[in-house]
Amino acid sequence: MKSIKRSFYLKNLVKLLIPMLIPLIILGSLANILIHLHIKEKINQENLNMLSQIRSNVEIIFNELDSINLTIVASALEFVDLQNMLQKEWFDPEDHKKLASLKNIIDSPSLAHPYIDSIYIYIENNRNRFLTTSTGGVVDLTSYEDTSWYQSYHRDKGNKEIWTENRTIYRSPFDTVEQKIDVITVYRNFTLANGNLGVIVLNVNTSYLKNYLNTLDKIKGQNILVIDHNSQVLFENYPVQLTASEIKSMVSSPKTMNSINIQNQRSIAFKLESEKYEWAFFSTIPKTALYKATYQLSIITLLLLFSSVIVGVIVAYYLTKKNFADIQSVLSILNKAEKGETLPHLPSKVNDIHSYIIHKIITNFMEQSYLKVLLSERKYKMQALELAVHQSQLNPHFLFNTLETINWKVISLTKRPNEINEMIDNLATILRYSLEAHNGLVFLMEEMKHTRSYIEIQKIRYKDKFDVIWDFDEELEKYYVLKLILQPLIENCLVHGKVESKKLTIKIKIKLTKSNLDMAVIDNGAGIETDKLSTIRSKLASNYTSTEHIGLYNTHKRLQLTFGDDFGAIIYSKSGWGTVVRIRIPIN
C-alpha cells in the first residue's frame, strides 16, 4: 500500500511540476544564453579597446627615447665633445659651457614629463663616467647609488637596439632615510660618428603608470599588467603575485582572448602585443565578475525552480492526501475480492466518480471475478484428476497385453533360460518407468530408451513380422516430452495396422520446428477407411473416450491437458496404404 501511495504521489507531483518547470527552464536558459552572448561580445570589445588605448599611451611615454636619440644624431659633434670631457680629469670653463648645453637637452624631457624619473647618457670612456638628470651633471659609477643599469648595458649591448627591464633605484637624498623607487628602465644603444658606442637609459617611474591604470574605468577584480619578452611583469594596477606557470600560459597563448586559472580562479585574459618593445599588454578579469549578470540570472532561475518544486511538493501532498482515501477504498475492495472475503455493501448514493467506480466494481466485476476464481480452481482439479485417470488406464492395459504375451511364450519354451528372461527384464524396466513419481515430462532420450524396451518385447512376440525405423537428430534428445507418449502409438500400429500379406514397417520421425518438437509415427499397414477415419477425428475433437484406439485417445487427451487445447494428436490414413499419427510438443 505504501508503494502504491508513493507512486500515486509521484504521478501527481510530476503532473504539477512539468507545466511549471518546463516554461521556466526554457525561458531562463534562453535569457541566460542571450545575455551571456551579448555581455561577452560587449566586454570582449571594450577590453580590447582599453588595451589598445593603454598600449598607445604607454608607447607614447617611452617614445621619449626616440626624441633623445634624434637629438644625439642631430648634435653628433657635441656628443663627441661629451665623450672627450668624460675622459678628462678636470673640466675647463669651455667644457662647463658645453656640458650645460647638453644637460639642457636631456633635462627638458625629464622636467616636462612627471613620469620620467631620470635619464642617463653613457658613452664608453676609461673613467666610467656618465651624464644624468638626477644630480645635474656628470657622475662617476663608483660614487653613484644606481649602477645596476651598467651591468645590464654590458650584458645586452651587442644583442639588441632597445630593451627593457624592471629595476629598483635606491637613493639617500640629503642624508635622510633611503628612498626606494621602482622604475622601468628602457635602454637604447647608439653609435657616434666616430664609431664610439653609447647608451641612453630612460627610467620611468612605475608608480606613475600604476596610478594611470587605476584611473581607468574597470570591472571589479580586473587587473591590467604589462609583461616583457623575458616573462617579467613590468607593471600592473595592483600586484597579483602570478606564478611562473600562469605567466607562461598567458604569454604563450596566440589568442587575443584566453581562459586561464589565476590563483585557483577561472579568469579571462585579453592580450595585445607591442612589437617595438616586445611587450604584451594583458587584462585579466575573473569570470565571476565578468559574467556577473548571467550568474545572477542563473541564481534567480534556480531559486524560481526550487520554489516551484517546493510549491509542487506541497500541493501534490495535499491532493494525494485528499484523493487517496477514495482510492484506498477501491484498493480495499480489490484486496478483499482477491482473498475471497465478504465484499462491502453497495454505496447508498453515487455522488462522485469514486463512489461510481466502487458501485461498478462490486456489481459488474468483483462478483464475477470471485466466481471465476472458484470455477477455475474446480476446472484445474478436474483436469488433474482426468489426467491421472487417463494415465492409470494406460498402464493396466499395457500390463494385460504384456502378461498375455509372456504367458504365450512360457507355454512354447523349454524350461531352460531363454528369451523369456529378456522379456521379463524389458517388462520390469517399462513398469518401473511408468510407475515412477514424476511430473509427466522426461527427456526424449529417456522416452526413446524405454520405447525400445517395449519394441524388444513385441519383437519376441511377433517374430519378424515388423521393423522399426528411427529418424531423428541426436541433438533433439535434450528436449522434454510426455512420458509414455510413443508406446501407445506403436501399439496401435501393431494391433490395428498388421497385414498378413506383407511385413509391417513402423517409422518414428522426430524433427525440430521453430518452437515445437514434431513427432510422427508412420506405418505401412492396413490403414483406415474414410468413414471410420472421420469418426475417429470427430471423437478426438470431442471429450469422447473410447475403448478402441485407446492409446490414440489417451495420448491426445494427455497432450491437451498438459499443453492446452492447441496441442494434441492428428491422424492421417488411407485404407491399404497405412497410417500417420502426428503430435506436437512445445520445446519451452
Let me know whether 325 and 253 are in one domain.
no
Pairing of strands 179-191, 279-286: unpaired
Same domain for 451 and 535, yes or no, is: yes
Q: Establish if 363 belongs to a structural domain.
A: no
Q: What is the pLDDT of residues 191-243, one digit of tens each?
A: 887 888 888 888 888 888 888 888 887 777 788 888 887 888 888 877 777 77
Q: What region does 121 belong to: left with phi over 0, alpha with psi -120 to 50, or beta? A: beta
Provide φ and ψ at 522, rounded to 5°: -115, 135
HEC-encoded secondary structure of 440-454: CEEEHHHHHHHHHHH
Same domain, residue pair 428 and 508 = yes
Average pLDDT over residues 489-515: 89
Question: Is there a domain that residue 338 lies in?
Answer: no
| Residue 548 domain-assigned (yes or no) | yes
How far is 153 from 199, CA to CA, in rounded Å? 8
Residues 281 and 250 in one domain: yes
Q: pLDDT class for 385, splitting at 50, 70, 90? A: very low
Separation of alpha carbons 571 and 579, rounded Å: 7
Q: CATH number of the domain at 495, please.
A: 3.30.565.10
CATH classification at residue 242: 3.30.450.20
Residue 252 has pLDDT above 80, yes or no: yes
Distance of CA 311 to the CA centre of its chain: 32
Q: Do 390 and 427 share a domain, yes or no?
A: yes
Contact (Cβ atoms closer than 8 angstroms) between residue 312 and residue 13: yes
* 521 or 298: which leads in pLDDT: 521
Flag whether 370 is in a domain.
no
Same domain, 476 and 553: yes
Residue where a domain terminates, one of 240, 271, 290? 290
Q: Residue with C-alpha cell 560587449?
A: 42
Give pTM, 2 decimals. 0.45
Q: What pLDDT is attached to residue 160?
A: 79
- Asked if residue 301 and residue 263 are part of one domain, the reply reads no
Most confident of 244-258, 287-301, 519-533: 519-533
Contact 233, 225 (CB under 8 A): yes
Residue type, 312: G
- Cα 312 to chain centroid distance, Å, stands at 29
Q: Which of 194, 210, 226 is the last residue of a domain?
A: 210
Sheet holding 197-205, edge to edge: 137-140, 129-132, 116-123, 197-205, 179-191, 162-171
Q: Is residue 22 located within the same domain as residue 106? A: no
The residue among 523, 539, 541 whose CA lies nearest residue 531 is 539
User: Are 404 and 433 contained in the same domain?
Assistant: yes
Question: In sequence order, what E strands does 102-211 have?
Answer: 116-123, 129-132, 137-140, 162-171, 179-191, 197-205
pLDDT at 292 over 60: yes
Q: Residue 567's domain spans which residues? A: 380-586
pLDDT of residue 518: 94
Q: Is residue 361 part of a domain?
A: no
465, 503 in Cβ contact below 8 A? yes
Answer yes or no: do 276 and 256 share one domain: yes
| C-alpha grid cell, residue 501 | 500379406
Coil, helix or strand for 587? coil
How far from the centroid of its chain's Cα atoms is residue 228's Cα? 46
**Of 156, 183, 210, which residue constitutes the final position of a domain?**
210
CB under 8 A, 24+ apart: contacts of 272-275? 272/48, 272/51, 272/52, 272/55, 274/55, 274/58, 274/59
In this predicted model, which residue has the larger pLDDT, 39 or 206? 206
Residues 6 or more apart in contact with residue 511 via CB below 8 angstroms: 472, 473, 476, 517, 518
pLDDT greater at residue 353 or residue 266: 266
C-alpha cell at 371: 466466481
Helices and strands (DSSP H and E) totals, the chain: 16, 18
Q: Give 315-354 pLDDT, tens digit per residue.
A: 767 767 766 666 777 777 777 766 666 666 666 666 666 6
Same domain, 412 and 524: yes
Percent of the chain with pLDDT over 70: 73
Which one has a higher pLDDT value, 96 or 64? 96
- What letter would DSSP give residue 586? E
Asked if the structure places residue 351 within a domain, the reply is no
Q: Please give the tally of structural domains in the chain.
A: 4
Q: Is residue 342 part of a domain?
A: no
Q: How confident is the model at residue 175 (pLDDT cuts 50, 70, 90)?
A: very low
Give residues with Cβ within 8 angstroms of 257, minimum separation 6.
Answer: 44, 48, 268, 269, 270, 271
Q: Please indicate, yes or no, if residue 115 is contained in any of the structural domains.
A: yes
Residues 245 and 279 reside in one and the same domain:
yes
